[in-house]
Every structure is written in C-alpha cells, then in structure tokens.
Amino acid sequence: MGRIIGARTKLLVALLAAAFDFLRDADDLEDVWQLHLSENEGAENFPTENIANLDTQTAYWLKISAHRDGTFSVLNGRTGKSKMCASR
C-alpha cells in the first residue's frame, strides 16, 4: 500500500508543479492566489502576499466576491490584501 500512496503522491506533486507552470505562463492572468503555501520539493509558489496560509498551523481564507457590474474582488484574510478585477 505504501508504494501506491508514494506513487500517487509523486504524481500529484508533478501535476501540481505542471499546474503552477501553466498558471505562471498564462498571458491573460493578472494574479494567482493560493490558499496554502506549497511545501512540495521544488515548488515555485506565487508571491506570499497572495497566499492565505504560509504554514499548516493557520486557517486563513481567501474571499472572492462577484459584483453585479461583472467585476469581482479577492481578499486575503491573512494579509488584508485586496484586489478588484474588472469584467472582461
């Protein structure tokens, strides 16, 4: 069983790394916000002001609010950083 879980974990780490690379290379994204800091080996996290939880001992949140005019906002509960995003 341990080998299966280990293989699954390695696959998940590889998939997450590929997802981060994809997001980092996307030309039309303004920001990426993370709920938790990735501690995976070789992880290249996004800026810490966009990460709600920097360790496993905290339980901060990201609040995403959609508005009637098509805009939305993101608020990091740990840092208080907020960003308003225009509609497309």
Q: Is residue 60 within 8 Å of residue 76, measured between CB atoms?
A: yes
Between 76 and 19, the more confident residue is 76
Between 70 and 6, the more confident residue is 70
**Nearest 10 degrees: CA dihedral of 64, 65, 69, 71?**
-20
Does the reported pTM lie above 0.75?
Answer: yes
Tens digits of per-residue pLDDT, 18-36?
Answer: 888 888 898 888 889 999 9
Residue 80 has pLDDT above 70, yes or no: yes
Q: Confidence band (pLDDT; 50, 70, 90) for 3?
A: very low
The beta strand positions in 1-88, using DSSP E, are 34-36, 51-53, 62-66, 72-76, 82-85
* Structure confidence at residue 8 (pLDDT): 57
* Residue 75 CB-half CA count within 13 A: 6
Tens digits of per-residue pLDDT, 33-65?
Answer: 999 998 887 788 999 999 999 999 999 999 999
How far CA 54 is from CA of 11, 14, 39, 51, 61, in Å, comes to: 23, 21, 9, 7, 11
